[in-house]
């Protein structure tokens, strides 16, 4: 008896079973008690060659109070008796004690009975009494007899006893698993992987007697493991009932004639139910695979108790529909479970997105991912590097030597698939012999007459090969709508290019689609060694520019000008791609002005002129003049010169991000003057100019009074370098409002949204709006925010295209609900949950459709579960925002559509590296 912790109460704990009881237990079992497991009581240690214990003595009713299935009425003697004990393999012993609800005592007692019956049957099948043995062997020297027979009779499988044949088959199954794991899993992790595989349930495979089935699926879908499990079910049936043959597991190359090979292995013709596996038909030619399936069909017709399961990738051979079993991709949760089992939680997790999550749907890539992450442990690895390495690993696993023309065809196929965003009809892509050559690689599969890659990551891997080979231009791959589909192909191509070619690609991308550059910087630049705080020496700077220069900068006379032009070239390329927004990133507008540079001991001082433009870069005589503003310099910075491979792009990113951040924070990007966002901005600024502030809620503003007061502000802005007022208003706002007022007529400026329609007697603003008005405002707000977001992108970021997530989802239908509490509730603000649906076939500029309703309680749609379904169906290479969003409804705000549109835009810009954080906007 032991005391319960923290109390004086004694916890009941019975004594352990006696050694005699345990010996009795092992005398009444031949394998794990769980049906269809069949794990032997002992296994062979690969290193020592000795038999080691492979089972655990498990209690049906726990030995200790509070344990699994504890029975307080059971005596200690009964608890220690063999009737309360059963032998289980390690994984299933763990399983019954941790999943108690699934394994009640009655079920375990059934297992116990079946285990004893199987042992009794095995003994009566293969055993003789000691008297029989003595009588039979007394006249001869047994050892001499065995040696004499062995010398003249070659060994064959039929000489094994039934128990030996069963043990051999179980070891063979274990060997196949280990052989499949060896290239992917480190030796110290293989046992963990094996235990996980043993405890993880798989969808049952059914092959009726007298039938042939082919388990087909993509590379790495776990077909062999499923086939082994099906075969082991037959082994368990054979040893537990004696009414089944101990079947066979073959690879195609080990089979001459299927019937002859089977009879030789069995030692007799198959009269009882017999399961046969032919694993990996892709390892032989299509002709040989077809021959083996024909022999299998003849075999099951000749011996109706035989069933045959073969494994192959899609369309390896022609099959009738009823003969095919499709191996479905793993759920992401299953791959995640295996990954955690091997790696644990104490390591650097990658930034998950649809591409990396897709790796978890295949056992092959899940195991490869686990090994790569565990090898790097806490080392940060980019998604691009991870995907590239796993693609290479999977290609090596295919064990095919590919001809040069086949590699080119794989590149063309990737380019075609990515260009169409869909599988390619085989007949239109290549001739039948070329299609056969692609299928022979096992990297490509054909489904419904269309070609696709066995793993999605191959599209990007061979897409990068197409870029490097010139089959696809950078302009095509980086265009606004194509880039999300090609992004990892571009990342692979850039990361593997020689330094000058790498810079050439980045300069081209910067001019074509600036979203691509900073996204690539996050993918392939994040694993670079960070810039040292210690300034580099001059030779290091010279070497960097000389090694990576692709435009002749290294010919400049002085190192300072050379270094300045090297940094400036990246900003110039990005300014081209950012047009027309690029000019607004300077306070006074315009392009890049003159740079003054000073370089000494690896540290650079960089001055930017206020208006001067030529020459573009000049060398300064000192690190900082006494009066820089008087000398015409607008800004002055000093920093160690960046010498990492992508250092100049990181420097440009640090320059542009704060300026764009300010425009987004203040919500001052250009939009059409007749749009809702412009009306909201004008009304907001008008209240500031007329002295109403941002909290007063006067619905109408007199235009004459507004124009009169604004004129004074305009004069102040025109007469100064730059002016600012309260509420974050500056010269640009004043000039913009003056332009806006010049195009409107009338006597008053109206509030953009209807005011509250209820007496404000409650604590919170939302209580002043009726339910009807709340629904109308929410519906209109969503519609105008989506339209405003589209205007922001098309006006300011035209080259970014679908790299901005929400823009890539347009046009939209929005479904949402508002759970509006009763007045008087202690709820500060209203929130709306929305589901974003794409509208296939509609033009991108089509007006969004919105349906908003009030609901709650049991009638609330489960949008979050539906959102997970969206991710499962979404194309894997799109930049998407979450289809389910929780949106605040600030009904009293004067800029609700603006705030929501900018919130979406900020999230999209952060996803491609143009903002370093996601912003939320409030008035």
Same domain for 910 and 808: yes
Name residues whose C-beta falls within 8 Å of residue 923's C-beta, 6 or more positions apart in sequence.
684, 694, 890, 893, 894, 895, 899
Cβ contact 251:279 at 8 Å: yes
| Residues 571-575, mean pLDDT to the nearest whole number | 93
| Residue 377, phi-psi category: left (phi > 0), alpha (psi -120 to 50), beta (remainder) | left
Say what the pLDDT of residue 596 is: 92
Question: Of the given ranges (127-141, 398-412, 825-839), which has the lowest mean pLDDT?
Answer: 127-141
Q: Is the pLDDT of residue 382 over 70?
A: no
Q: Is the pLDDT of residue 32 over 70?
A: yes
pLDDT-based confidence at residue 867 (cuts at 50, 70, 90): very low
Cβ contact 867:835 at 8 Å: yes
Q: Is the pLDDT of residue 345 over 60?
A: yes
Q: Is the pLDDT of residue 698 over 70?
A: no
DSSP 775-844: HHHHHHHHHHHHHHHHHHHHHH-TTTGGGSHHHHH-SEEEEEEE-PPPTT-S-SSEEEEEEEEE-TTS-T
870 domain-assigned: yes
Q: What stretch of H or E contains 215?
A: strand 212-216
Pick the last residue of a domain from 666, 690, 714.
Answer: 666
Summarize pLDDT for 245-261 with one digit per residue, the tens: 888 999 888 888 898 88
Cβ contact 624:602 at 8 Å: no
**CA–CA dist 174, 692 (Å, integer):** 80
| Residues 629-657, mean pLDDT to the nearest whole number | 89
Give the tokens for residue 60. 């049906």
Secondary structure, 3-state, 544-562: HHHHHCCCCHHHCCCHHHH
Name residues whose C-beta falls within 8 Å of residue 267's C-beta, 6 or more positions apart in sequence.
156, 157, 158, 159, 160
Cβ contact 314:217 at 8 Å: yes
481 domain-assigned: no
Q: Is the pLDDT of residue 347 over 70?
A: no
Cβ contact 31:38 at 8 Å: yes
pLDDT-based confidence at residue 828 (cuts at 50, 70, 90): confident
| Residues 777-788, mean pLDDT to the nearest whole number | 95
| Residues 22-29, mean pLDDT to the nearest whole number | 84
**CA–CA dist 686, 126 (Å, integer):** 98
Residue 838: Cβ-neighbour burial (10 angstroms; 0-12, 13-18, 19+): middle
**CA–CA dist 394, 216 (Å, integer):** 18
Pick the last residue of a domain from 359, 376, 394.
Answer: 394
Name residues whose C-beta falls within 8 Å of residue 817's C-beta, 6 or more positions apart in sequence.
832, 833, 852, 853, 854, 855, 856, 860, 861
Same domain for 307 and 192: yes
**CA–CA dist 302, 271 (Å, integer):** 11
752 domain-assigned: no
Q: Is the pLDDT of residue 122 over 70?
A: no
Question: Of the given ranges (170-174, 297-301, 688-692), which has the lowest mean pLDDT?
Answer: 170-174
Q: Is the pLDDT of residue 274 over 90?
A: yes
DSSP 336-386: HHHHHHHH-SSSPPP---HHHHHGGGSHHHHHHHHHHHHHHTTS---HHHH
pLDDT-based confidence at residue 398 (cuts at 50, 70, 90): low
How would you label 190-228 residue by residue, b for 16+ Cβ within 10 Å and e otherwise? bebbbbebbbeeeeebebeebbbbbbbbbbbbbbbbbbb
204 domain-assigned: yes
Cβ contact 922:828 at 8 Å: no
Q: Is the pLDDT of residue 357 over 90?
A: no
Summarize pLDDT for 185-242 with one digit per residue, the tens: 778 888 888 888 777 776 688 999 999 999 988 777 788 888 888 988 888 888 877 7
| Residues 849-866, mean pLDDT to the nearest whole number | 68
Q: Which residues, listed in sequence order, are joined to residue 278 by a DSSP beta bridge?
A: 250, 310
pLDDT-based confidence at residue 177 (cuts at 50, 70, 90): confident
Say what the pLDDT of residue 64 is: 87
CATH code, 237: 3.40.50
Same domain for 863 and 775: yes
Same domain for 35 and 165: no
632 domain-assigned: yes
Same domain for 281 and 343: no
404 domain-assigned: no
Helix, strand, coil in percent for the chain, rounding step 5: 50, 15, 35
Q: Is the pLDDT of residue 44 over 50?
A: yes
Percent of the chain surpassing pLDDT 90: 28
> Which residue's entry shows tokens 């500060």?
828
| Residues 169-183, mean pLDDT to the nearest whole number | 74
Summarize pLDDT for 92-110 with one digit per residue, the tens: 887 888 788 888 999 999 9
pLDDT-based confidence at residue 737 (cuts at 50, 70, 90): very high
Same domain for 194 and 95: no
Same domain for 648 and 561: yes
Same domain for 234 and 248: yes
DSSP 711-755: HHHHHHHHTSS--EETTTEEHHHHHHHHHHHTT--SSEEE-SSPP
Cβ contact 57:20 at 8 Å: no
Mean pLDDT score of the chain: 81
Same domain for 179 and 317: yes
Same domain for 350 and 270: no
Same domain for 210 and 265: yes
Say what the pLDDT of residue 667 is: 92
489 domain-assigned: no
Residue 358's domain comprises 332-394
**CA–CA dist 554, 216 (Å, integer):** 57
Number of domains in the chain: 5
Summarize pLDDT for 414-437 with one digit per residue, the tens: 999 888 878 899 889 988 888 888
572 domain-assigned: yes
- In Å, what is the CA distance from 89 to each residue of 32, 50, 195, 436, 703? 5, 18, 10, 45, 85
10 Å Cβ neighbour count for 33?
26
Same domain for 292 and 337: no
**CA–CA dist 636, 667 (Å, integer):** 27
Pick the last residue of a domain from 310, 326, 342.
Answer: 326
- In Å, what is the CA distance from 202 to each residue of 195, 230, 328, 330, 543? 14, 10, 11, 10, 57
Say what the pLDDT of residue 1 is: 41
Q: Is the pLDDT of residue 652 over 90?
A: yes
Give the tokens for residue 864. 């979050």
pTM reported for the whole predicted model: 0.69
pLDDT-based confidence at residue 709 (cuts at 50, 70, 90): very high
Say what the pLDDT of residue 893 is: 85
Q: What are phi and psi of 492, to 5 degrees?
A: -60, -45
Q: Is the pLDDT of residue 55 over 70?
A: yes
């Amino acid at each position: 008896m032991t005391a319960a912790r923290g109390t004086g109460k004694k916890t009941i704990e019975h004594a352990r079973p006696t050694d005699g009881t345990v010996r009795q237990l092992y005398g009444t079992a031949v394998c794990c008690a769980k049906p269809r497991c069949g794990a032997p009581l002992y296994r062979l240690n690969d290193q020592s060659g000795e038999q080691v214990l492979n089972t655990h003595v498990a209690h049906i009713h726990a030995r200790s109070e509070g344990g699994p299935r504890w029975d307080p009425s059971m005596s200690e003697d009964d608890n220690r008796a063999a009737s309360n004990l059963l032998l289980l393999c390690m994984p299933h012993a763990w399983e019954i004690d941790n999943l108690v609800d699934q394994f009640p005592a009655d079920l375990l007692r059934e297992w116990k009975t079946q285990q004893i019956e199987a042992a009794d049957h095995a003994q009566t099948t293969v055993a003789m009494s000691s008297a029989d043995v003595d009588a039979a062997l007394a006249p001869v020297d047994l050892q001499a007899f065995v040696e004499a027979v062995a010398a003249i009779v070659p060994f064959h499988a039929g000489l094994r006893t039934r128990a030996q044949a069963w043990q051999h088959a179980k070891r063979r199954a274990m060997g196949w698993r280990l052989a499949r794991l060896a290239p992917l899993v480190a030796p110290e992790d293989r046992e963990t992987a094996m235990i996980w595989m043993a405890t993880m349930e798989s969808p049952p495979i059914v092959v009726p007697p007298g039938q042939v089935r082919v388990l087909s699926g993509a590379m790495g879908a776990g077909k062999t493991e499923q086939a082994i499990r099906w075969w082991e079910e037959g082994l368990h049936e054979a040893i537990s009932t004696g009414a089944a043959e101990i079947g066979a597991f073959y690879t195609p190359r080990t089979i001459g004639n299927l019937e002859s090979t089977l009879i030789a292995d069995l030692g007799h013709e198959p009269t009882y139910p017999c399961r046969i596996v032919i694993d990996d038909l892709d390892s032989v030619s299509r002709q040989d695979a077809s021959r083996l399936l024909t022999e299998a069909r003849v075999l099951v017709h000749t011996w109706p108790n035989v069933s045959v399961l073969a494994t192959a990738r899609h369309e390896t051979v022609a099959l009738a529909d009823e003969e095919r079993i499709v191996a479905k991709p793993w759920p992401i949760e299953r791959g995640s479970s295996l990954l955690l089992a091997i790696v644990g939680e104490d390591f650097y997790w990658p930034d998950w997105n649809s591409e990396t999550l897709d790796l978890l749907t295949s056992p092959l890539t899940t195991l490869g991912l686990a090994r790569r992450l565990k090898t790097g442990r806490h080392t940060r690895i980019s998604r691009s590097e991870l995907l590239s390495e796993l693609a290479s690993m999977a290609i090596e696993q295919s064990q095919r030597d590919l001809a040069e023309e086949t590699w080119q065809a794989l590149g063309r196929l990737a380019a075609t698939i990515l260009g169409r965003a869909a599988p390619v009809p085989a007949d239109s892509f290549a001739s039948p012999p070329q299609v056969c050559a692609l299928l022979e690689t096992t990297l490509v599969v054909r489904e419904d007459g269309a070609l696709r890659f066995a793993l999605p990551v191959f599209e990007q891997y061979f897409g990068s090969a197409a870029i490097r080979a010139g089959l696809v231009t950078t302009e095509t791959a980086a265009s606004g709508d194509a880039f999300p589909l090609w992004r990892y192909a571009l990342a692979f191509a850039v990361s593997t290019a020689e330094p000058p070619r790498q810079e050439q690609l980045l300069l081209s991308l910067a001019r074509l689609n600036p979203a691509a550059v900073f996204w690539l910087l996050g993918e392939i630049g994040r694993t670079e060694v960070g810039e040292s705080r210690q300034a580099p020496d001059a030779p290091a700077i010279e070497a960097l520019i000389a090694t990576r220069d692709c435009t002749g900068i290294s010919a400049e006379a002085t190192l300072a000008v050379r270094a300045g032009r090297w940094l400036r070239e990246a900003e110039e390329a990005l300014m081209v791609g950012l047009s027309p927004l690029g000019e607004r990133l300077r306070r006074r507008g315009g392009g890049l002005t003159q740079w003054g540079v000073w370089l000494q001991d690896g540290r650079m001082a960089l001055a930017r002129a206020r208006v001067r433009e030529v020459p573009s870069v000049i060398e300064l005589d000192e690190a900082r003049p006494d009066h820089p503003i008087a000398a015409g310099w607008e800004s002055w910075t000093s920093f160690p010169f960046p010498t990492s491979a992508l250092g100049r792009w990181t420097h440009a990113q640090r320059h542009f991000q704060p300026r764009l951040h300010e425009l987004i924070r203040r919500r001052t990007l250009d939009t059409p003057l007749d749009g809702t966002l412009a009306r909201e901005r004008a009304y907001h600024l008008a209240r500031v100019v007329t002295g109403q502030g941002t909290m007063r809620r006067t619905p109408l503003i007199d235009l004459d009074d507004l124009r009169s007061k604004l004129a004074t502000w305009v004069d102040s802005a025109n007469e100064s370098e730059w002016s600012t007022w309260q509420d974050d208003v500056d010269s640009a706002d004043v000039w913009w409002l003056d332009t806006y007022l010049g195009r409107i007529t009338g006597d008053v400026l109206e509030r953009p949204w209807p005011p509250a329609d209820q007496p404000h007697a409650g604590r919170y603003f939302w209580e002043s709006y009726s339910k009807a008005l709340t629904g109308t405002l929410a519906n209109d707000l969503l519609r105008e925010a989506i339209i405003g977001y589209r205007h922001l992108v098309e006006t300011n970021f035209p080259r970014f295209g679908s790299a901005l997530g929400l823009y890539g989802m347009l046009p939209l239908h929005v479904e949402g609900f508002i759970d509006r509490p009763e007045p008087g509730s202690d709820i500060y603000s209203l929130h709306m949950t929305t589901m974003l649906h794409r509208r296939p076939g509609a033009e991108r500029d089509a007006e969004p459709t919105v349906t908003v309703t009030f609901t709650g309680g049991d009638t609330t749609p489960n949008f979050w579960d539906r959102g997970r379904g969206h991710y499962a169906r979404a194309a894997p290479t799109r930049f998407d925002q979450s289809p389910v969003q929780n949106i605040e409804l600030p009904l009293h705000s004067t800029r609700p559509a603006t705030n929501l549109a900018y919130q979406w835009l900020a999230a999209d810009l952060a996803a491609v590296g143009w903002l370093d954080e996601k912003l939320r906007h409030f008035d």
